[in-house]
Amino acid sequence: MKNLFYNILFIIMLAGAVALTVLNLSPYARQVAAFPWYLIVAAAACLLAGAFMASFLSVLLHELGHMLFGALCGFKVLSFKFFGIETVYINGRRIRKMRGKDFCFGKCTLVPKIEDKPKKKLIITASGGLLFSLLAFLGYLLSNVLLEGISPFVYAAVSPGLTVSLYIFLSSFLPYRSSAGRSDGALIADLNKDEEFAAVMENLMRIQAQLYGGKSPAEIDRDLYFKNPMLSDDHATMFRLFYYRYLYYLDAGEFDKAAQTNRTAIELGDFLPPDEYAKLYLNACFDFILSGEREKAKACFLEDYEDDMSTYRIKAYYSHYVISDGQKVRAYIHRARQEGETHAFKGVAAMEEKLLQNLAHAMEGEA
C-alpha cells in the first residue's frame, strides 16, 4: 500500500511538472505554427535534444553527488555506470566497457575504506545524490522563468529539463522499496527508523571495509556474518549478506556449507540482471566440482562470461577436474592471479589465491 501511495504521489507531482512545461511552451505554439514545416521539425528536434541533454545532465549530477559526498565520507569509487557505459577504477586506472545486458541510466559503486560510523556515512552519501538532483531541478525551474520570451528554439531545448530533472529527483527521493533494493529516500528513512535493517547494513559495511583493508573473509569477526536479523522481505540486502557468508565458508574450507549458502543466494538473487545471476551458477559449478558431481558441474558451467578472478579460478578447477586439460588450467591460474593484482578487495584476492594454491598442490600431487 505504501508503494501504491508513493506511485500515485509521483504521478501527480510529475504531471504538475509536465503541465507547467506545456503552459510555458503555449505562448510559442501560435508562433511555431506559422513556421514552414522544416522549422517546425527543427523546433521538435530541439525539444527532443533538450530532453536528452536534461536526462544526461540530471543523471550525471545525481551520481556525482553520491561520489562527491561518498569521497568526503571516506568511500572509494569502484565503478561508475552512465547510460550503459561502465567505468571501472582499479588503482587509479580506468577501464571502460559496454554492459548491454544490464542497462541503467546511472549507478555508482562505492566501498568504505574504514569501518568508522558506517550508518552516518551511508546517509550522507545517499543525501548527496538527492541534493544534486534537487539543485538540477531548481536550476531548470529558474531557467524556465528567466528565459521566457527568448527564441522558441532555445526555449524548446531548455523547457523539457523541468520535467526530466523532477522525474530524476522524485524517483530517488520518494521512499520506494522493491525486491531489487531501495530508493535513496527509502535507504535514508530505513537507516533512521528500521533498527534491524540498519544493523545488517552496518555489518555489511564493516565486512567490506575489512575486505578492502586486506583481511580475508575468514579472518573477519564471524559475528558480522552470522549475528544479523533476518529481513524476510528484503531480498537485496539479504542476498549481499549470504554472498559474504559464501566467501567466508570458502575461505574457511567449509565447502558443504558454502554450497548450501550459494543455493540460498540463488533463491534470493532473482532480482539480479542475467549476467550477475549467471555468476551464481558458476559458483554452483565450483561447488559441484568439489563434491565430485561432474555432470552437475557441466550443467552449470558457462564458457562465455565476462571474467574476473573468481571466474578464472572456477574455470581452472573445471579444466582440471572435469575436462583434464592441464594447459587450460595453467592459463586460467595465470589469468586469475593477474586479476588478483588489481582486485579492489585485497582480502577476497587473498582468499582466491588460497584456492588457487590448493588446486596447484592437487596438480603436483597427481603428477
Give the CB-side neighbour count of residue 131, counting CA atoms within 13 A. Answer: 13
Nearest to 128 by CA among 75, 201, 194: 75
pLDDT at position 155: 75
Q: Can you state the percent helix, strand and coil of the chain, rounding each to 5? A: 75, 10, 20
pLDDT digits (tens, 9 = 90+) for 52-93: 888 888 888 999 999 999 999 999 888 777 766 666 655 555
d(CA 234, CA 251): 26
C-beta separation of 173 from 130 below 8 A? yes
Facing residues of 178 across strands?
Answer: 181
Long-range contact pairs involving 26-34 (C-beta distance under 8 Å, separation at least 24): 27/148, 28/152, 28/155, 28/156, 31/152, 32/152
Nearest to 85 by CA among 47, 59, 118: 59
Average pLDDT rounded to a whole number, residues 117-136: 93
Question: Residue 174: enclosing H or E segment and its boundaries?
Answer: none
What pTM, to 2 d.p., does this model score?
0.85
pLDDT at position 363: 85
Highest mean pLDDT among 44-53, 141-150, 347-356 belongs to 347-356
Q: Which residue has the higher pLDDT, 45 or 39?
A: 45
pLDDT digits (tens, 9 = 90+) for 89-108: 555 555 555 555 555 667 78
Cell numbers for 41: 521539425
pLDDT digits (tens, 9 = 90+) for 2-28: 556 666 766 776 676 677 666 666 666
